[in-house]
């Protein structure tokens, strides 16, 4: 999602506020302006957010909600507003820029209960969206988006999303599973992310300051054409633990510009079109411990790639070049076997190599065996 695409979302963030309606079994908008109200039952709206809390207003729900909005958000908290969406709720939005759950402004908070299903169907209609501060806390939520540039979870220009046990599926083009723009943080535990659209990355990070994403005990799969497991622009930090990230038709770590620092622990990273790609003037640092890395490596002239392996394995699947390789004790750099005894064989070009106890396993022509070099 480019900046101009983000700006297309903003008008709905600043739309005129609708008049409050008293909640009922089939209510229209539930609105809390500095007050506390309780939402219940079925809430159907067209345009304004179905749930809207502003000026420290609070909306509570203790039983599952069924929310449908044509042309607007399912729930929005702003100016320190707070909303609690009960477990087992349903949010369905249609129309462009119709976000499932939206938060903006420091102090604003939405908590989404276990078993809640969020479905959006049109362009720029992400599941979770934070702008300019605020927070979303979610446990056991399912997010399904179908439009172009309709991401699973987005933090834009500050804010925090905490998600656990969440399942995200996006099917539109340029619809990332997790996205952080300009600045912000996302912390995800035990989540499942699947993207199927063209250039719909599993994790997308772009910053003018810095962004941070933490992933643990999770599975992230990018299936679409030119869709990477991780794409980074700007200065970003990524922590991955006990997780599996894969790009079936893209790159594992695609660093287009800036600096990406990736700390990988007990995880597997696979890129169908390469483990890593580093653009000119970009820097990628991968510190892998107890992990498996699969794929080739490409570093453009002017780019810097640093791979440090500790008790880890890198399966080199094609000709590769990196700036620095630290193959520490207990680690293995394994060239995958050629198709035949005649090759083709693979090359790994490293500007600076440190192999204190690590192993390089290369294929030989004689009897098509591999040779370990320590």
The first and second tokens of residue 261, run together, are 């620092």
The pLDDT tens digits along the chain (374 residues) read 333 334 333 333 433 333 333 333 345 899 999 999 999 999 999 999 999 999 999 999 999 999 999 999 999 999 999 999 999 999 999 999 999 999 999 999 999 999 999 999 999 999 999 999 999 999 999 999 999 999 999 999 999 999 999 999 999 999 999 999 999 999 999 999 999 999 999 999 998 767 899 999 999 999 999 999 999 999 999 999 999 999 999 999 999 999 999 999 999 999 999 999 999 999 999 999 999 999 999 999 999 999 999 999 999 999 999 999 999 999 999 998 876 555 677 899 999 999 888 999 887 654 444 434 44
Instruction: Please classify residue 276 by burial: count the beta carbons closer than 10 Å to its beta carbon, then call 0-12 exposed, 13-18 middle and 19+ buried.
Output: buried
**Residue 45 near residue 74 (C-beta atoms within 8 A):** no
pTM over 0.75: yes
Cα three-residue angle 249-275-337, rounded to 5 degrees: 95
Q: List Cα–Cα distances, 105 to 18, 129, 136, in angstroms.
A: 19, 12, 12
The C-alpha atoms of residue 310 and residue 331 are separated, in whole angstroms, by 6
In whole angstroms, give the CA distance from residue 6 to residue 24. Answer: 35
Contact criterion met (CB below 8 Å) for 259 and 236: yes
What are the extents of the domains in the chain?
Answer: 105-373
Measured CA to CA, the distance from residue 238 to residue 232 in angstroms comes to: 10
Q: Is 287 exposed, middle or buried (0-12, 13-18, 19+ CB in 10 A)?
A: middle
Is 364 exposed, middle or buried (CB count within 10 Å of its CB: 0-12, 13-18, 19+)?
exposed
Q: Which of 141, 144, 146 is nearest to 162 (CA)?
A: 141
């Amino acid at each position: 999602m480019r900046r101009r695409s983000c700006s297309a979302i903003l008008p709905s963030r600043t739309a005129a506020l609708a008049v409050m309606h008293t909640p009922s079994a089939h209510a229209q908008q539930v609105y809390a302006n500095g007050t506390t109200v309780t939402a219940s039952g079925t809430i159907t709206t067209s345009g304004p957010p179905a749930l809207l809390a502003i000026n420290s207003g609070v909306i509570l729900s203790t039983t599952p909600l069924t929310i449908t909005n044509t042309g607007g958000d399912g729930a929005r908290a702003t100016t320190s507003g707070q909303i609690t969406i009960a477990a087992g709720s349903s949010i369905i939005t249609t129309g462009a820029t119709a976000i499932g759950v939206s938060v903006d402004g420091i102090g604003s908070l939405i908590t989404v209960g276990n078993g809640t299903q969020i479905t959006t169907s049109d362009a720029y209609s992400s599941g979770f969206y934070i702008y300019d501060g605020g927070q979303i806390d979610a446990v056991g939520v399912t997010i399904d988006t179908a439009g172009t540039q309709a991401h699973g979870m987005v933090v834009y220009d500050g804010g925090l999303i905490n998600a656990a046990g969440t399942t995200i599926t996006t099917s539109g083009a340029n619809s990332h599973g997790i996205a952080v723009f300009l600045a912000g943080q996302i912390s995800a535990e035990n989540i499942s992310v699947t993207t199927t659209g063209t250039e719909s990355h599993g994790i997308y990070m772009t910053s003018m300051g810095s962004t941070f994403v933490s992933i643990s005990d999770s599975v992230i799969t990018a299936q679409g054409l030119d869709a990477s497991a991780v794409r980074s622009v700007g200065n970003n930090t990524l922590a991955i633990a006990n997780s599996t990230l894969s790009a079936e038709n893209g790159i594992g770590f695609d660093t287009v510009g800036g600096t990406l620092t990736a700390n990988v622990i007990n995880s597997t990273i696979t890129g169908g079109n390469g483990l890593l790609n580093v653009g000119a003037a970009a820097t990628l640092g991968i510190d892998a411990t107890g992990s498996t890395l699969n794929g080739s490596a490409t570093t453009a002239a002017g780019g810097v790639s640093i791979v440090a392996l500790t008790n880890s394995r890198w399966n080199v699947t094609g000709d590769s070049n990196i700036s620095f390789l630290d193959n520490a004790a207990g680690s293995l750099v394994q060239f995958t076997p050629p198709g035949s005894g005649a090759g083709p064989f693979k090359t790994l070009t490293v500007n600076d190599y440190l192999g204190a106890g690590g192993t390089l396993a290369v294929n030989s022509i004689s009897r098509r065996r591999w040779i370990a070099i320590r």
